[in-house]
Amino acid sequence: MRVLHVSCSPRGEASESYRLLQQIISQLRQSDPDTTVIDRVIGQGVIPPIDEDYAVSQGSSKDVSQLGSMAKSEELILELETADVVVISTPMHNLTLPATLKLWIDHIVRTRRTFNISKFGKVGTLQDRPVFVAISSGGRFSGEHPQQPDFLTPYLTAILGMIGLHNVAIFSVQGTGSHVNELASIRRNTDQLVREHFASFHPDLIAVPTY
């Protein structure tokens, strides 16, 4: 099983989202000991914003340069296409996704490449595959008494669905600024949810990418 891990925290392996990601990877390895993880680390801002040629290509079928953003877009899309499973580890920044994750999305969501425009709206062209999202947040954004709005998970679910990735499971550690004992309890509860989810996960049911 080939797993693409998109790492979005500027804190890298020291981040809470990365710790949660390791719980997910551990479960994937238990499902398939031959699991290979490809790390796409973007938390330090290594993906540049899209350039003019890319922007022009989105508004017309005009041929544009295959350098710059178009080349980076193709690289990231091919990486996504050849993965059996995608795992995204990310913090919540200012109620939504960090800028680094938005840049990755801007490169992989490309008209006439990962989605087409029809009379019914935008239709994804990617073959579906499991996507697991590990989120960390200083405040609580879900449950009975959320402390803040959540503009991350609805957007991420919608934009991945637009390119054909509908099988999205989201796990989160919320309240990372809590007292150390409370945070430990939050971690245990989330880790238990991950284990329960993977109790019914079978890699043999994953459709093999045909790209």
pLDDT digits (tens, 9 = 90+) for 153-174: 999 999 999 999 999 999 999 9
Q: pLDDT of 86-115, one tens digit each? A: 999 999 999 999 999 999 999 999 999 999
Percent of the chain with pLDDT over 70: 94
Residue 210 lies in a domain: no
Residue 28 lies in a domain: yes
Integer Cα distance of 57 and 2 in angstroms: 31
pLDDT at 182: 87
Number of domains in the chain: 1
Domain that holds residue 107: 2-205
Residue 187 maps to which CATH number?
3.40.50.360
Give, rounded to a whole angstrom, the gap between the first and last alpha carbons of the chain.
Answer: 15
Question: 60 falls in which pLDDT band (50, 70, 90)?
Answer: confident
Question: 144 falls in which pLDDT band (50, 70, 90)?
Answer: confident
Integer Cα distance of 50 and 161 in angstroms: 21
Residue 50 lies in a domain: yes
Q: CB atoms < 10 A from the CB of 177, how many? A: 10
Residue 48 lies in a domain: yes
Residue 96 backbone phi and psi in degrees, to 5: -145, -165
Look up residue 56 and give its amino acid.
Answer: V
Integer Cα distance of 81 and 36 in angstroms: 15
Residue 211 lies in a domain: no
Integer Cα distance of 38 and 13 in angstroms: 15
pLDDT at 53: 86
CA nearest neighbour of 141 among 149, 130, 153 = 149
145 pLDDT more than 60:
yes
Mean pLDDT, to the nearest integer, of 123-143? Answer: 94
Give the Å distances, CA to CA, from 165 to 75, 85, 108, 125, 159: 18, 11, 12, 9, 9
Give the Å distances, CA to CA, from 42 to 95, 101, 132, 201: 19, 7, 17, 28
pLDDT at 211: 40
Residue 192 lies in a domain: yes
The residue whose two tokens read 């934009």 is 159
Residue 79 lies in a domain: yes
Burial classification of residue 139, based on how many CB atoms lie within 10 Å of its CB (0-12 exposed, 13-18 middle, 19 or more buried): middle
Residue 69 lies in a domain: yes
183 pLDDT more than 50:
yes
